[in-house]
Amino acid sequence: MRLSRYFLPVLKETPSEAQIASHRLMLRAGMIKQATAGIYSWLPLGFKILRKLENIVHEEQVRAGHIPMLMPTLQSADLWRESGRYDDYGAEMLRITDRHGRDMLYGPTNEELITDIFRSHVGSYKDLPLTLYHIQWKFRDEVRPRFGVMRGREFFMKDGYNFDLTKEDALHAYNRHMVSYLRTYERMGLQAIPMRADSGPIGGDDTHEFLVLADTGESEVFYDSAITDLRLGGRDVNYNNWDECAEIVKEWTTPYARTDETHDEAAFNAIPEERRKTSRGIEVGQIFYFGTKYSEPMGATVQGPDGKSVPVHMGSHGIGVSRLVGAIIEASHDDKGIIWPEGVTPYHAGIVNLKQGDAEADAACEAIYASLNAIGLEPLYDDRDERAGGKFATMDLIGLPWRITVGPRGLKNGVVELTSRRTGESEELPPEQAIAKLAQIYAGHVLRPSL
């Protein structure tokens, strides 16, 4: 992409309404624009990152054997009356009446709708286990939408639902989801810690939230610092191996880690003092096992091997995809702007032409631009006729992890400058070597042509 032809409305001033770094930086970097309280338009740069995160979520879900589909945003109130949640859900549910006077709602979650699909089409235990998921907009009329996309009213969520014959099968689905979520966050360059939590309006006894530690998080969390040393390291998990999944879950859930809702002071105090940590956290996902809470009232049953009809065991699993954009920025920024991890960066490298209009500099930039594209990387070329300082400031603000700076002085010696956004360190290299280095850096990442 050439910056002169892109739509990147960066702001010079810090918007006064933004209280936390991610909100401020998303507005300044031209990623989002508020449409109305808690509802945002995703401008091209923000949209590109949202799609990248969505792709990673899809890939990890499909890898775990879960099946993608798409349900609508608007739902009929009737299904929610069947489960008993229409009245329970309260003011957070946006209720709408259509022209025929029918009660509708903008879905805050999809347990009812998916249970209706299941009961309409599945009748035998032989069709189990089954996990369906989608990534779709949700609406919750939050009392205090704030912090930009972190607590929006409209937000983008991956929600998955497992259907199993027995509790034991459903607990494997729970473990499988926990492991797939750990892999997902890790690919996004994040450490999200599973913490025992409260199930709230979704229900059930077994639930873990995934929290990214950050001072600006809305939840208070208590944990054993030993948990922050754990890594999956991209481990290629075999999801059909129940023991392998259970072992990973055990490793990640044994150290104490809880949100304030389930915090147990006595258990916390049993940890050696130097490992006892209290912090704030951003909830980027939550998984639930709730047994037959929905299948029983809604009649989602299957015929078991003995011919008897039994309600299925279910769980649901959510990832806050739009919230993750803010969470990654909270975890990775500095005074100058965002610092995208390589796995999610909207463009792999920026190209800054220090002397636009200079035949040699322009030609060198064009050649680098073409070479990066040819190896499947997406460069963002700042080809505007602007001062170098302004170009650097924009690149730093939008946070591409690597920048290639091209100027007549370097070209005289046959070199360009390759700079890391994270460390600020620069190296002078011939253009081919800079390209080869970027190819190496991104070798472990899936490079898909993205929007």
**Contacts to ligand P5A by CB under 6 A:** 109, 140, 142, 151-152, 155, 157, 159, 202, 283-286, 316-318, 320, 322-323
Q: Which is nearer to ligand P5A, 28 or 158 (CB)?
A: 158
CB 158 to ligand P5A: min, Å:
8
> Hey, what are 292's tokens?
């037959």
Nearer to ligand P5A, 202 or 411 (CB): 202
What distances in angstroms separate CA 332 from CA 45, 191, 226, 422, one per listed residue? 17, 11, 22, 9
Contacts 24+ apart (CB under 8 A), 418-424: 421/339, 421/340, 421/395, 421/396, 422/339
Q: Which is nearer to ligand P5A, 301 or 322 (CB)?
A: 322
* Measured distance CA(158)–CA(150) in Å, rounded: 15
Beta strands in 292-425 (DSSP E): 301-303, 309-311, 313-320, 333-334, 337-338, 349-353, 379-382, 402-406, 416-420
Shortest Å distance, C-beta 319 to ligand P5A:
6
- In the complex, least distance from residue 371 CB atom to ligand P5A, rounded to whole angstroms: 39
Q: In angstroms, what is the minimal distance from the CB of 324 to ligand P5A?
A: 7
Please identify the residue of the shown chain whose CB is closest to the bound ligand P5A. 320
Give me 98's structure tokens. Answer: 């259509």
Nearer to ligand P5A, 117 or 441 (CB): 117
Kindly tell me which of 75 and 394 has the beta carbon lying closer to ligand P5A: 75
Q: 3-state DSSP helix/strand/coil percent for the chain, to nearest 5?
A: 35, 30, 35
Q: How far is the CB of 403 from ligand P5A (least distance, A)?
A: 31
Q: Which is nearer to ligand P5A, 208 or 348 (CB)?
A: 208
> Can you tell me the distance from the alpha carbon of 319 to that of 156, in angstroms, rounded to the nearest whole number?
9
Min CB(54)–ligand P5A separation in Å: 14
Shortest gap between Cβ of 135 and ligand P5A (angstroms)?
A: 11
Question: What separation in angstroms does the CA of 80 have from each of 75, 89, 110, 117, 356?
Answer: 9, 9, 10, 14, 60
Instruction: Compare residues 317 and 348 and give the one whose CB is closer to ligand P5A.
Output: 317
| Rounded Cα gap, residues 165 and 127, in angstroms | 10
